[in-house]
Chains A and B, each alone.
Chain A
Amino acid sequence: MDEGARDCLGLDVAVGNGRALHAVASRRDFMRLIGMGGALVLLPSLLAGCEDGSNTGGLTGPGTGAAVTIDFALGDVAVLQLAYALEQLEADFYGRVVANFASSGFSTAEQATLSHIHNHERIHRDFLKATLGTSAGFTLATVYDGVDFGNRISVLKAARTLEDTGVAAYNGASQYLTLAGNLLVAAKIVSVEARHASVIRDMISPLSNEFAPSAFDDVDRPKTVATAAQAYLVNKLVFANEPTAFTPGPADKG
Chain B
Amino acid sequence: MTHTDLTSPIDPEIVVALDRRAAEIARGATVASPIAAMLALGSIPIAIGALATDVYGQAPSDVLDVLQFALLLEYLESEFYQRAINSTGLIPASDIAVFSTIATHEVTHVTSLLELIKGRSGTPRARPAFDFTARGAVPGFAFAATQYATFKLLAQAFEDTGVRAYKGQLTRLMTDKVALNAALAIHSVEARHAAEVRRLRGGNGWITGSRRDDLPVFTQPVYDGEDNTTHGAVSVAALASGSGGVDSATEAFDEPLTMAQVTSIITPFLA
Contact = CB atoms under 8 A, between A and B. Distances in A.
Interface of A: 31-32, 34-36, 39, 76-77, 113, 115-116, 118-120, 122-124, 126-127, 130-135, 167, 170-171, 174-175, 177-185, 187-199, 202, 207-209, 211-212, 214-219, 247-251
B40 interface: no
Nearest to B104: A215
Nearest to A199: B205
Nearest to A214: B189
Nearest to B231: A185
Interface in B1-35: 1-11, 14
Interface of B: 1-11, 14, 41-46, 49, 52-53, 55-56, 94-95, 97-98, 100-102, 104-105, 108-109, 112, 163, 166-167, 170-171, 174, 177-178, 180-182, 184-196, 199-200, 204-206, 231-234, 236, 239-240, 242-244, 248-249, 251-256
Given A207-B97, A209-B101, A119 B167 contact: no
Contacts of A34: 43, 45-46
6 contacts: A31-B43, A31-B46, A133-B4, A180-B53, A190-B191, A195-B205
B184 A249 contact: yes
Nearest to B96: A207
Q: Which of A116, A134, A191, A247 has the most CB of B within 10 A?
A: A191
A171 B189 CA distance: 11
Contact of A180 (B4, B10, B166, B236): B10
Contacts of A39: 4
A194 B101 contact: no
Contact of A191 (B101, B163, B233): B163
Dominant secondary structure at the A interface: helix
Contacts of A35: 6, 43-46, 49
B231 A209 contact: no
Contacts of A126: 236, 239-240, 243
List of 8 A-B pairs having minimum Cβ-Cβ separation, nearest first:
A35-B45, A181-B10, A119-B244, A194-B191, A247-B177, A215-B108, A191-B191, A194-B188
B9 to A, nearest CB: 4
B184 A171 contact: yes
A120 B97 contact: no
Nearest to A122: B243
Given A36-B45, A191-B163, A212 B196 contact: yes
